[in-house]
Structure 1
């Protein structure tokens, strides 16, 4: 079971109970970082891609993976980084639901050239087309983006998903395949998972082992509506039935990411978005 700790916001002094999210290892076992209840949370003021990840080893098979750093959004608007337990004195990772060490404790997440090249771009200048938040948004294709026999786009080349970072990279590659450009990490982090942004589009990648809830879909839709952008949701564990019903009413495309890295549309809006690549 993922562990829970009490987290107090240093800005407004509100107390929260935080439960570490669990993510699926390639062996199927759930992984969650080991939290440090004695350490104080830090305020996330400056963002860097490598600081968003922890290296956590699976307690079942020992395979290390890169997973999102535990964070908590306080109602006062402060984003808190929940501290994880440091390594033991013998240099090995701590035990618990998962074993991890963040960059803040001396271990940096290794660079991923595909992620850095695809997600780490700065946003391009230009205005977004106002419209329904649930729409697919604007796409700006460059020369050769749809080159193929008869002008058709070549098939999507999936990337095997073993970690949360793989899921984010696969999503970015899929959005580029659809024609979106200037893909980057979203300015506002969603309540669960990782947010990506392109011109006129917000995407949420949820690599946790629990199905996405209606609140997850609603939060993504509201954030996109505030930015006059479209939105799309990618989940490893699928969606609760209520979440699918809510997404249909809001016209939010829903995709499931399989282990092979092929995004599978699960509602009509996603099918329509996927068809735009033809």
Structure 2
């Protein structure tokens, strides 16, 4: 059982008990986020792509992954972010001058398979390693790779709320970033949930050129895949 820790709300100064969340690592072991007991909780006023995730090393396999930042709602009405213990530093690779990303070469979409191929090529262009088809394409994931799960919806109706939530759950189970591509756009509640879960959402036309439709997608284009 996960031990709770005392946390003091920075707004009302009331101390309360907080139980750190536990997630399944891709190695199969449970990973409890290591809350920093002497850390200073912060009130959440604005969420960004950078502050919604924390980097934590799995104590079982040592794999470094991105996990949802622990937070809680205080009785005073404030949303509070709880700090976690930072991971051990790793040696940084040697770096040279930045190399501009070449122009993306789209894949014309004529079939549903073409849509998946176009999305895979775009993900490679963004910097993901070898996006490929899963063994069970009916599970709600059309492409996966290192730190990545992606859904490609070629339907003529907008993607629905449950489609976005299903993809997010797959990403959570794999400790991977979820990316959604749709040819017909997104239903209003699906778009809102994608924004709330910080899932990059793209729309594609028949030329095979994805276009971002929310802030996480814009960030992904600018920065590439999260470090792992």
TM class, shorter-chain normalised? 0.5 to 0.7
User: What is the rounded CA distance, in whole Å, between the counterparts of 2:155 and 2:200 in structure 1?
Assistant: 19
Task: Check if 1:263 corresponds to 2:210.
Answer: yes
Q: 1:131 aligns with which of 53, 56, 66?
A: 66
Deviation at residue 132 of structure 1 after TM alignment: 3.0
Question: For residues 225 and 188 of structure 1, do their structure 2 counterparts lie closer, same or farther at Cα, with a shift above 3 Å needed?
Answer: farther
Per the alignment, in what secondary structure is the counterpart of residue 180 of structure 2? strand
User: What is the rounded CA distance, in whole Å, between the counterparts of 1:128 and 1:170 in structure 2?
Assistant: 30
Check the 8 A contact 1:160/1:260 in 2, yes or no. Answer: yes
User: What is the rounded CA distance, in whole Å, between the counterparts of 1:245 and 1:197 in structure 2?
Assistant: 24
Q: Which residue of 2 aligns with 1:207?
A: 154
| C-alpha RMSD over aligned residues | 2.4
Q: Which residue of 2 aligns with 1:155?
A: 103
User: What is the rounded CA distance, in whole Å, between the counterparts of 1:131 and 1:163 in structure 2?
Assistant: 34
Per the alignment, in what secondary structure is the counterpart of residue 204 of structure 1? strand
Question: For residues 190 and 214 of structure 1, do their structure 2 counterparts lie closer, same or farther at Cα, with a shift above 3 Å needed?
Answer: farther
Question: For residues 218 and 153 of structure 1, do their structure 2 counterparts lie closer, same or farther at Cα, with a shift above 3 Å needed?
Answer: same
Deviation at residue 162 of structure 1 after TM alignment: 1.1
Check the 8 A contact 1:232/1:254 in 2, yes or no. Answer: yes
Gaps of 5+ in 1: 1-125, 135-148
Aligned residue pairs total 137
Q: Which residue of 1 aligns with 2:174?
A: 227
Q: Which residue of 2 aligns with 1:69?
A: none
User: What is the rounded CA distance, in whole Å, between the counterparts of 1:133 and 1:191 in structure 2?
Assistant: 23
TM-score when normalising by structure 1: 0.46
Question: For residues 214 and 128 of structure 1, do their structure 2 counterparts lie closer, same or farther at Cα, with a shift above 3 Å needed?
Answer: farther
Q: 2:188 aligns with which of 241, 247, 251?
A: 241
* Superposed counterparts of 1:167-182, under 5 Å: 167-182=115-130
**Offset from partner CA, 1:186-222 (integer Å, 9 cap, x none):** 2443556x51001011000010111001110000001
Consecutive aligned runs of 4 or more in structure 1 exceeding 6 Å deviation? none
* Superposed counterparts of 1:31-42, under 5 Å: none
